[in-house]
Amino acid sequence: MKKNTLKYLLLMNIFLLLCLCLEIIKTRWQFSQEHENNAYLKVANNKLTEINFNLKTEYHHLSSPAKVERHAKENLKMIEITKATNINYEE
């Protein structure tokens, strides 16, 4: 009877150890997956930061006063007023 009880306890301990080992393996695999995801997110964040910087630079370039003035002169055929002209309407 005592021998059967010891065998039963030994088998239960082995089963428990096997379950714990499998849980450790699963946890380590999940940790490695999260580490890879974190590395991917860092790369993506760096790319988006660079794209954001390029877009801000392009926005400031396109909305600069010199660019607007050149567009007005070339495409809209506007000219700069150099002297004031008074128009008098007589009745």
Q: CA–CA separation, 1 vs 24, rounded Å?
A: 35
38: in domain? no
Q: What angle do CA 26, 32, 37 make, to 5 degrees?
A: 125
Predicted pLDDT of residue 6:
92
pLDDT category, 3, cuts 50, 70, 90? confident
pLDDT of 90 over the 80 cut: no
63: in domain? yes
49: in domain? yes
Three-class DSSP category at 73: helix
35: in domain? no
Which residues have a Cβ under 8 Å from the Cβ of 79 and sit 6 or more positions away?
A: 73
- DSSP of 11-27: HHHHHHHHHHHHHHHHH
Predicted pLDDT of residue 47:
97
Per the CB < 8 A criterion, the answer to whether 67 and 61 are in contact is: yes
Say which amino acid occupies 32. S
Helices and strands, number each (H, E), in the chain? 2, 0
pLDDT, tens only, 46-76:
999 999 999 999 998 888 888 888 887 888 7
61: in domain? yes
pTM across the whole model: 0.54
How many domains does one find in the chain? 1
Residues of the domain holding 56: 44-76
Predicted pLDDT of residue 91:
62
Q: Could you tell me what percent of the chain has a pLDDT over 90? A: 60
